[in-house]
Amino acid sequence: MSEAPAGAEGAGAEQVGAEHAGNPTRLYVRYRITGRDVAEVAEAIRVEQTIEFPVELAAPWIQDEVVGRVESVGPDSVEVSYAPGVLEGGLTQVLNVLWGNVSIFEGVRITEIRLPEGEVGLRGPRFGVAGIRERFAAPSRALLATALKPMGSSSAELAAVAGALAAAGIDVIKDDHSLGDQHWSTWHERVARCSEAVAEANARTGHRAVYMPSLNVPAPEIRERAHAAKELGAGALMALPGITGFDAMRALADDDELGLPMMSHPSMLGSLMVNRDQGISHGLVLGLLNRLAGADFAVFPNYGGRFGFSTGECAEIRDASAQQRGGLHSTIPSPGGGMTVERVPELLEFYGNDVALLIGGALHRGDLATNAARIREAIGS
Amino acid sequence: MSEAPAGAEGAGAEQVGAEHAGNPTRLYVRYRITGRDVAEVAEAIRVEQTIEFPVELAAPWIQDEVVGRVESVGPDSVEVSYAPGVLEGGLTQVLNVLWGNVSIFEGVRITEIRLPEGEVGLRGPRFGVAGIRERFAAPSRALLATALKPMGSSSAELAAVAGALAAAGIDVIKDDHSLGDQHWSTWHERVARCSEAVAEANARTGHRAVYMPSLNVPAPEIRERAHAAKELGAGALMALPGITGFDAMRALADDDELGLPMMSHPSMLGSLMVNRDQGISHGLVLGLLNRLAGADFAVFPNYGGRFGFSTGECAEIRDASAQQRGGLHSTIPSPGGGMTVERVPELLEFYGNDVALLIGGALHRGDLATNAARIREAIGS
């Protein structure tokens, strides 16, 4: 269940554990320590992430029941567990305990998280693989996603592209994450035009494509914009948790009146992962955290593209997205970057069919509709 | 005006520039590049942060006017500028342009940001040094801040401590960032009790201390909790932008009905800074971004404490917080960690009097009121 993914390094292998050898009410976090004394850092972490106060001055029951516990110390890692009370208050506090002040420690990286039973009260993705497959009338094939670009295009131009992509069989047609509320294509106008264009294409072709606007908007407007997007005909929503926070996405996923699939984009999350001796492992950020925060789809840079994610790191994300955990639905990985028709068989071999391949530039070199149809054909049915 | 701060390293010195040698409507960002070809990364960045699309396929006007421009390429850094249109949509889009996808690049660090004139429409801190000094009736002395701890204490216990601290002359008495909505001290109960205790102490002593609750609460409740806190008597608020986003803090700072001083806590922001070849420099994250997002106070780990910030990095934060920029008020640095009475003269020498020293453990070893009174005396009047 929590096997090291293919390609991960031996001792420091990032893992996502779902089973508890320990106390099922506690949160267990494994930190890999580089260039520092493990026992000393362990002692610092268990205090820093809880009472941040001289332990000997705290009441004995607080020392026992509130301060984190060092569960095991290895040559290059330590496991610390946290009491359920410490985590109370929702996802923002879970994040605070996981990575709050320890984020400022050099040479510390979270490589494994074992959640308490009940997934700290989080509901996770609304749809899951089965729900998403039903929505797209795609019982078994891989899904296809793409982004509307380039910034500078008018809403009419983007809508024309959206319509062509929907007609060609792309399932998820999302705003590029760079599109916000620029004068070239303002948010409301773009959402209205692109939703219409995709609806028209669906009516003509029988496809079930969705237009998915970005919610990289002012924080106090996120909920209102999400509902406005739905009213304008958007079929799904994209959030940028690195900018507006994981809990803002969680709230949209949990919104029963909204009830739309959510996609998570990794904008600004990179520094959490790409410094390999510090941060939180790729699988935990883009797989586990996205999933806890309700992402039905998680975008990330595929191996072999223009970013430096390794095969092993992409495998971690894939595995953390789908690993069985309590009642929590899966997140569908959405790898992007360097996607070509020729790579489709390899990608389906690697990710399986429960994936939404995010195709970018490959659609735009030559005729868009032809390219989209070729990719659509390559994934099979 | 944008001198390298004391202690910063020569070539790669982090700087915050306010003056424009270039086009005053554009945003200029300097990236330090490590272990990669500078010109190649520069070309990638200018596209990645704007159209994320094959440049040669974009319309010529988009290539000219929307894609970022490489302004200069040095041996280990590059400056890229961005058109004002790209930034439209508020702080979330400014962050997206600054660090969205580039956050996933290894070996890239932002070391300088020159904002367009008008500070991209952001209002910054509501109070500024003069406004804060008036509020605390402290025309010239340094301010003192501390956190209510340890987690596990009841609201009555925390309130008793808050009252004693207020009576002893501590100005800002904030929730520890670990305090959320745990059953030991639930959020509403704690805010009510601590606000009362501080108000009673003020009435008795004539001090102007404020209680400052943490807003590490569910994202959709931030605004409502901020207003509830004010009604319950809280005199200031603390936000955790690394968890709930910089724009959530910005919205509270801009809320005219609320009108309370804001403090920013660095929880979860560490990985953006502490990997010195990647991320964004300390001064830019904790000085400039906090300031753009309306923080009247910015908490950060002081040099010589239990975190690894250098003297030079703390100087950057200090300088970016106070550097003159358009109509934007300053942020008051609030260094914490390892603060003792003995260090006060050194700290005031380093930060000047426009500082809020965040005193932790030193208050709790021995008698709280005596310790607080000693620190209060050490800062002078």
Distance CA B212, CA B379 (A): 21
A161 CB neighbours in chain B (<8 A) are: none
Cβ separation B269–A85 shorter than 8 A: no
* For residues B110-119, average pLDDT: 93
Q: What is the pLDDT of residue B5?
A: 37
Residues B122 and B130 sit within 8 Å (Cβ to Cβ):
no
Tens of pLDDT along B276-319?
999 999 999 999 999 999 999 999 999 987 788 999 999 999 99
Could you give the 3-state DSSP secondary structure of residue B216? coil
Two tokens, residue A171: 């399932």
Distance CA A279, CA A2 (A): 20
- Identity of the residue numbered B121: G
Cβ separation A243–B248 shorter than 8 A: no
The helix (H) or strand (E) run that includes residue B187 is helix B187-205
pLDDT, mean over chain B? 93
Cβ separation A178–B216 shorter than 8 A: no
Nearest CA in chain A to B360: A53
Q: How far is A18 from chain B (nearest CA, A)?
A: 24
B177 CB neighbours in chain A (<8 A) are: 52, 96, 100-101
Distance CA B2, CA B111 (A): 12
The model's confidence at residue B2, banded by pLDDT at 50, 70 and 90, is very low
**B269 vs A61, A103, A187: nearest CB:** A103
Distance CA A158, CA A163 (A): 9
Gyration radius (Cα) of chain A, Å: 22
Cβ separation B103–A62 shorter than 8 A: no
End-to-end CA distance of chain B: 29
The model's confidence at residue B241, banded by pLDDT at 50, 70 and 90, is very high
Distance CA B68, CA B222 (A): 35
**B103 vs A96, A180, A269: nearest CB:** A269
Cβ separation A152–B61 shorter than 8 A: yes
B361 CB neighbours in chain A (<8 A) are: 53-54, 57
Q: What is the pLDDT of residue A107?
A: 97
Tens of pLDDT along B22-31?
899 999 999 9
* For residues B47-68, average pLDDT: 96
Picking from B96, B175, B285 by the largest number of A CB atoms within 10 A of its own CB, the best residue to mutate is B96
Q: What is the pLDDT of residue A273?
A: 98
Residues A162 and A173 sit within 8 Å (Cβ to Cβ):
yes
Cβ separation B216–A93 shorter than 8 A: yes
Nearest CA in chain A to B273: A104
pTM summary value: 0.94
Cβ separation A89–B181 shorter than 8 A: yes
The helix (H) or strand (E) run that includes residue B223 is helix B222-232
CA distances from B154 to B136, B183, B218 (A): 28, 9, 22
* For residues B180-197, average pLDDT: 98
Distance CA A257, CA B196 (A): 39
Question: What is the percent of chain B where pLDDT is above 70?
Answer: 94
Mean pLDDT by 10 residues, chain A (381 residues): 35 42 93 97 96 94 98 97 97 98 97 92 96 97 97 98 95 97 98 98 97 97 98 98 98 98 98 97 98 98 89 98 91 92 94 96 87 91 80
Q: Which domains does chain A have, with CATH numbers?
A: 27-116 (3.30.70.150), 128-378 (3.20.20.110)
